[in-house]
């Protein structure tokens, strides 16, 4: 399939929806100078191509009493047990993000807990009991200074940074 090129109208649609996913298509259409049907078609096209992966309601964790945000670095041994560990982590509601990362650690988790005792309990009695979890290192967030979605307008690609096409590893010899 050919790569879909996002044009200025698509950028306006994405920008409006990133700011507020509930923005009516007709309002976006007025801003873009096109019909509501055109916005709907473009939205559906971007959705079918995986550019738009959904919309969601965001809840501020502290309003639910989840006052501790922690990042947990996890080391696995053996690393090839990654799929089993991920399945076990999916069952822990406190884990809201999990990334397979480069560096000293295998996984980086983002968690929300009610308090430090709750965090300690999840670490010791749940995460560290998952087979193949060798060890963990925990960082507690004191403040979230920035929270946002990826940018759509004024993307660095427009300022001279260009994405390189993904290529396979170079062959030697």
> What residue numbers bound the domain in which 90 lies?
61-140
Q: What percent of the chain stands above pLDDT 90? A: 74
CATH classification at residue 14: 1.10.10.10
* Token couple for 57: 């309601």
Flag whether 18 is in a domain. yes
- 47 with 90, same domain: the answer is no
**Number of domains present in the structure of the chain:** 2
Domain boundary residue, one of 56, 75, 94: 56
pLDDT of residue 171: 47
Between 8-12, 64-68, 69-73, 96-100, the lowest mean confidence (pLDDT) is in 8-12
- 117 with 135, same domain: the answer is yes
- Please give the DSSP secondary-structure letter assigned to residue 156: G
Q: State the pTM of this model.
A: 0.76
Residue 110 has pLDDT above 50, yes or no: yes
Flag whether 76 is in a domain. yes
Return the residue matching tokens 């298509």.
Answer: 25
- 50 with 67, same domain: the answer is no
CATH classification at residue 114: 3.30.70.920
Q: How far is CA 134 from CA 91, 127, 164, in A?
A: 19, 10, 36
């Amino acid at each position: 399939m050919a790569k879909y090129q996002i044009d200025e109208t698509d950028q306006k649609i994405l920008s409006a929806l990133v700011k507020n996913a509930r923005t009516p298509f007709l309002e976006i259409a007025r801003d873009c100078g096109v019909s509501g049907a055109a916005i709907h078609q473009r939205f559906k096209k971007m959705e079918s191509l995986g550019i738009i992966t959904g919309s969601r309601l965001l809840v501020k964790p502290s309003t639910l009493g989840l006052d501790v945000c922690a990042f947990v670095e996890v080391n696995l041994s053996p690393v090839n047990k990654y799929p089993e560990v991920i399945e076990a982590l999916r069952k822990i509601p406190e884990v809201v993000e999990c990334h397979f990362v480069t560096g000293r650690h295998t996984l980086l988790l983002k968690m929300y807990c009610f308090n430090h005792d709750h965090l300690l309990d999840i670490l010791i009695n749940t995460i560290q009991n998952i087979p193949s979890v060798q060890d963990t290192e925990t960082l507690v967030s004191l403040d979230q200074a920035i929270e946002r979605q990826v940018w759509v307008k004024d993307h660095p690609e427009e300022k001279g940074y260009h994405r390189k096409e993904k290529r396979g590893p170079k062959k030697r010899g």
